Amino acid sequence: SFYSLKLENKTKGKLQRQICQVVLDHFGKQYTKELGDTWTGVRDVLTHPLCWQHAVLLNKFSWSSELENTLCLRGYRPLFQETLPYLPRSLKCYISRTPRRFPAQKHQIGKLKEYYLLNAASLLPVLALEVKDGEDVLDVCAAPGGKSVAILQCAYPGQFHCNEYDGLRSRWLKQTLESFIPDPLINSITVSKLDGRQIGDLNPELYDKILVDAPCSNDRSWLFSSDTQQATLRLIQRKELPSLQLQLLRSAVKALRPGGSLVYSTCTLSKAENSDVINLILNSCSNILPVDISDMGKAVSQEFTLLSGTQEHELLVLPEKEKAWGPMYVAKLKKI
């Protein structure tokens, strides 16, 4: 069958990728300070793409028993086996202990894809958001669309607004949604290209749940910058990211209804882009409170390595051998 295609060729290209020394040195300085001894193990995983893993998120709108059987035969197992505070039965994700690459499905017009390959840790912001049927949901920085697709595996929002400011990424988002979501439902999704910093003023107090999966210094991909000049420029511009992240969060707070909740996530280990940004929001907005997500943290601690000593409203997934998920920072807030 289609699923038993040669899976090994995919990883060959990854081997050729060169590590960008400028970025590694920069990260090394910062993360040794912030993570201590933990950084060594994390660095080993981040710099060896052959030990990276992919999870297989099933599409409930195009469900195939053949696919589930194939996954099980290949040694994949369901990702969440513990009882989580929020885990809709319709959300199904499979992982394999060893880094194997399941083939990606090609985009075919008029045919829904059966699964989405992703870093398993990127489901945590979606689980923390706890979307329920009928709620109005906003995904502020939605491309490439994996988290939007995952939200729709969990529940049927009343209004679902997926936004992506970048033109190219916005097209990618649209294609992802078209590949995974059937027609009647896709018509109820609004896809926009607004500047996320302005959504709060445009749509004040409109949403019950908001995901801010913010632009960040993407530790995994930055380490393999092929162009040293571009990498150096990125590292200079990196200092400006927390200010953008803060503006996106402030905008999301405005767009949130009182009683609504918000999840902030990044794929970086950087404290300046994670807890520092959240602390700034908590200290400057009297109507925002932290939400304890430590129960979710405990429930997923079998599958993910979490940094110890974080606050109750946040968690940070650290990539580790055999659990090469993350980096992924998640924090939850609510508006009163």
Give the residue numbers annotated as catalytic, written as ranges: 267
Which of helix, strand or coil describes residue 224? coil
Binding region: 141-147, 164, 195, 213
Cβ–Cβ < 8 Å for 267, 327: yes
Q: Report d(CA 125, CA 180) in Å as an integer.
A: 20
Binding region for S-adenosyl-L-methionine: 141-147, 164, 195, 213
Residues 6+ apart with CB under 8 A from 127: 84, 86, 87, 296
Burial class (CB in 10 A: 0-12, 13-18, 19+), 331: buried
Cβ–Cβ < 8 Å for 310, 293: no
CA 285, chain centre distance (Å): 25
Which of helix, strand or coil describes residue 116? strand
Cβ–Cβ < 8 Å for 296, 85: yes
Cβ–Cβ < 8 Å for 277, 245: yes
Q: Report d(CA 111, CA 141) in Å as an integer.
A: 26
